[in-house]
């Protein structure tokens, strides 16, 4: 490990004013009545967030480029200067700006804002990177609109095929291709982008912690060790539409009863297999208060420390015919990089049940890791998601040290 020149970057060197300013600029974009955020891929809100990213990155003198997968990259230094020499590839940080329905302010944006602030802190101290430094803004991380999480990074690495992506449809029936076109992005060129991938030597994603792993510890920041195996399944429950007042109970074919069995069955199976299972989204037809539904579509999310546990839950629910929409294997972040970050920061190590673009890049063989910033309640994917300002600034300082360390040597 290369020793750092000079004193380590401390929270005092982070531009807290810039943090507040950028955070305030983002605060109204996509804000919902719940106080949470509705920032879905390829919408007007998404375009506003992308414009914000380009503006903030440009204000630091970074060069912003898109890729074939709908992600944005802001570069400090020439990302192609390494030629075919892997040792000179970029140190990339960043995260995403989209959200789940009524999501919190921190999931994603904290990593993007921290990435920009880390670059700014290093520029301010006159640091000359020996390798290019990139801040990534991944598209459609949550998959809230089209159903596939980490769609931008999966397209980038080829884990999601362009044909499948283009044909995904949102709840209104708009395809991803149509939504991209409406947003001014040409979907015909969508696909794995070897040029963009070849620029990434190392990826470190800072993210709000989404559990209670750092609560009641004296650490504001942890290093990520890995991501649980996880997936999403769709269940179609077919009934027969009829009148709510005149149809005898014995004559009904009510798919809501099957939904109830699915929900309680998933919960019981998760308890049996030491997994977590969630039915968080349903679509009911015709969705009338005085009509027995004709059809219910439900989506199941299931995760566990062990793949066998997830498979056990799904086996217990086989009568519902769950159709896999996405699957992510267990991800272990790069062990040497993890150890390096732990030594550098003196931070604890945490695994997570949440999916991240860092995991998709790691699956594609890119040395990747994560930093988690303490969440005092553990609540996430909710308007109540929180990270204290001081902890956010400590996270930026940690990320700055990481970039200084990784980019300070060829
Ligand atoms: C993304 O946040 C996920 O884990 O679903
Ligand atoms: Mn999320
Ligand atoms: Mn996230």
- Give the tens place of pLDDT for each residue, 110-120: 999 999 999 99
User: Per-residue pLDDT for 4 more than 50?
Assistant: no
For residues 102 and 382, the answer to whether their CB atoms sit within 8 Å is yes
pLDDT 10s digits, 25-68: 999 999 999 999 999 999 999 999 999 999 999 999 999 999 99
Look at residue 8 in the predicted model and tell me its pLDDT: 61
User: Per-residue pLDDT for 353 more than 70?
Assistant: yes
Phi-psi region of 261 (alpha: psi -120 to 50; beta: other; left: phi over 0): alpha
- Of 339, 358, 359, the closest CA to residue 349 belongs to 339
Structure tokens at 271: 């308890």
The Cα–Cα gap between 84 and 169 comes to 39
User: Per-residue pLDDT for 170 more than 50?
Assistant: yes
Mutate to test the pocket of ligand 1, among 210, 354, 360 (most ligand atoms within 8 A of CB): 354
Please give the distance, rounded to the nearest whole angstrom, from the Cα atom of residue 305 to the centre of ligand 1: 15
Look at residue 2 in the predicted model and tell me its pLDDT: 32
Q: Residue 396 belongs to what H/E stretch?
A: helix 389-407
The Cα–Cα gap between 374 and 213 comes to 8
What mean pLDDT value characterizes the chain? 96
Ligand nearest to the CA of 353: 1
For residues 152 and 69, the answer to whether their CB atoms sit within 8 Å is yes
User: Per-residue pLDDT for 3 more than 70?
Assistant: no
Please give the distance, rounded to the nearest whole angstrom, from the Cα atom of residue 59 to the centre of ligand 1: 31
- Of 74, 22, 26, 24, the closest CA to residue 49 belongs to 26
Ligand nearest to the CA of 100: 2
For residues 130 and 21, the answer to whether their CB atoms sit within 8 Å is no
Number of C-beta neighbours around residue 1 at 10 A: 10
User: Per-residue pLDDT for 227 more than 70?
Assistant: yes
Ligand 1 in reach of 149 Cβ (< 6 A): yes
Please give the distance, rounded to the nearest whole angstrom, from the Cα atom of residue 134 to the centre of ligand 3: 18
How much is the average pLDDT of 318-341?
97
Ligand 1 in reach of 355 Cβ (< 6 A): yes
pTM for this entry: 0.95
The Cα–Cα gap between 249 and 232 comes to 33
Ligand 1 in reach of 142 Cβ (< 6 A): yes
- What are the residues facing 331 on neighbouring strands? 227
pLDDT 10s digits, 372-404: 999 999 999 999 999 999 999 999 999 999 999
pLDDT 10s digits, 200-209: 999 999 999 9
């Amino acid at each position: 490990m290369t020793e750092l020149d000079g004193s380590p970057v401390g929270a005092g060197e982070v531009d807290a004013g810039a943090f507040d300013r950028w955070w305030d600029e983002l605060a109204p974009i996509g804000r919902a009545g719940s106080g949470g955020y509705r920032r879905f891929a390829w919408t007007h809100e998404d375009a506003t967030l992308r414009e914000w990213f380009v503006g903030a990155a440009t204000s630091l003198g970074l060069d912003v480029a898109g890729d074939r997968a709908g992600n944005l990259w802001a570069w400090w230094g020439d990302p192609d200067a390494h030629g075919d020499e892997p040792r000179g590839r970029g140190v990339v940080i960043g995260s995403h700006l989209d959200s789940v329905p009524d999501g919190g302010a921190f999931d994603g944006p904290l990593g993007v804002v921290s990435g920009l602030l880390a670059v700014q802190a290093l520029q301010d101290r006159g640091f000359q990177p020996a390798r290019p430094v990139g801040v990534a803004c991944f598209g459609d991380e949550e998959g809230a609109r089209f159903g596939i999480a980490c769609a931008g990074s999966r397209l980038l690495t080829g884990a999601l095929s362009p044909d499948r992506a283009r044909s995904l449809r949102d709840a209104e029936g708009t395809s991803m291709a149509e939504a991209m076109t409406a947003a001014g992005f040409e979907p015909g060129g969508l696909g794995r982008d070897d040029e963009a991938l070849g620029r990434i030597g190392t990826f470190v994603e800072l993210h709000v912690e989404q559990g209670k792993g750092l609560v009641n510890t004296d650490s504001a920041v942890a290093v990520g060790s890995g991501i649980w195996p996880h997936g999403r399944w769709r269940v179609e429950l077919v009934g027969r539409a009829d009148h709510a007042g005149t149809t005898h109970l014995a004559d009904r074919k009510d798919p809501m009863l099957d939904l109830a069995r699915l929900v309680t069955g998933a919960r019981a199976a998760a308890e049996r297999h030491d997994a977590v299972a969630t039915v968080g989204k349903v679509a009911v037809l015709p969705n009338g208060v005085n009509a027995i539904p004709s059809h219910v579509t439900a989506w199941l999310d299931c995760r566990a420390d062990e793949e066998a546990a997830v498979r056990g839950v799904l086996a217990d629910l086989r009568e519902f015919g769950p159709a896999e929409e996405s699957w992510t294997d267990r991800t272990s972040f790069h062990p040497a990089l993890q150890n390096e970050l732990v030594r550098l920061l003196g931070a604890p190590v945490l695994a997570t049940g949440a999916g991240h673009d860092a995991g998709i890049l790691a699956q594609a063989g890119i040395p990747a890791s994560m930093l988690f910033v303490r969440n005092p309640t553990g609540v996430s994917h909710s308007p109540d998601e929180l990270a204290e300002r001081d902890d956010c600034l400590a996270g930026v300082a940690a990320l700055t040290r990481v970039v200084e360390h990784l980019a300070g040597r060829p």
